[in-house]
């Protein structure tokens, strides 16, 4: 989707290599320029088509949206 959907800074898919009970099978990590870019991604037809496909093959989904905070010691 990088290059297709504007303002995606980074997109990475990872497959789990452990079998811990609390682990997930697949993770999608993505970075966006700002919250507006994330909203554009969520509404983009390519993303919506992917969601439709995933709805048919996944058993659950977890989402975490966060903003990186500067932590000073």
Counted domains in the chain: 1
70 within some domain: no
Give me the pLDDT at residue 73, please: 64
Domain-located, residue 13: yes
Residue 53: inside a domain:
yes
Q: Taking Cα atoms as reference points, which of 31, 28, 30, 32 lies closest to residue 58?
A: 28
Residue 15 has pLDDT above 80, yes or no: yes
Let me know if residue 52 belongs to a domain.
yes
- pLDDT reading at 5 higher than 80: yes
The stretch 30-58 carries a mean pLDDT of 93
Per the prediction, the chain carries an average pLDDT of: 89
| Structural domain of 24 | 8-57
| 49 located within any domain | yes
Sequence-distant (≥ 6) Cβ neighbours of residue 38 within 8 angstroms:
32, 65
With 0-12 / 13-18 / 19 or more C-beta atoms within 10 angstroms meaning exposed / middle / buried, residue 40 is middle
Q: What percent of the chain clears pLDDT 90, i.e. is strictly above it? A: 58
Specify the pTM. 0.76
> Does residue 52 sit in helix, strand or coil?
helix
d(CA 39, CA 19): 33
Q: Does 51 reside within a domain?
A: yes
């Amino acid at each position: 989707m990088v290059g297709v959907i504007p303002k995606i800074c980074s997109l990475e898919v990872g497959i789990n290599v452990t079998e811990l009970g609390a682990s997930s099978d697949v993770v999608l990590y993505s970075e966006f320029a700002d919250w507006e870019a994330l909203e554009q991604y969520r509404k983009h037809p390519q993303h919506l088509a992917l969601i439709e496909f995933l709805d048919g093959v996944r058993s659950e989904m977890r989402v975490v949206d966060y903003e990186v905070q500067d932590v000073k010691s």
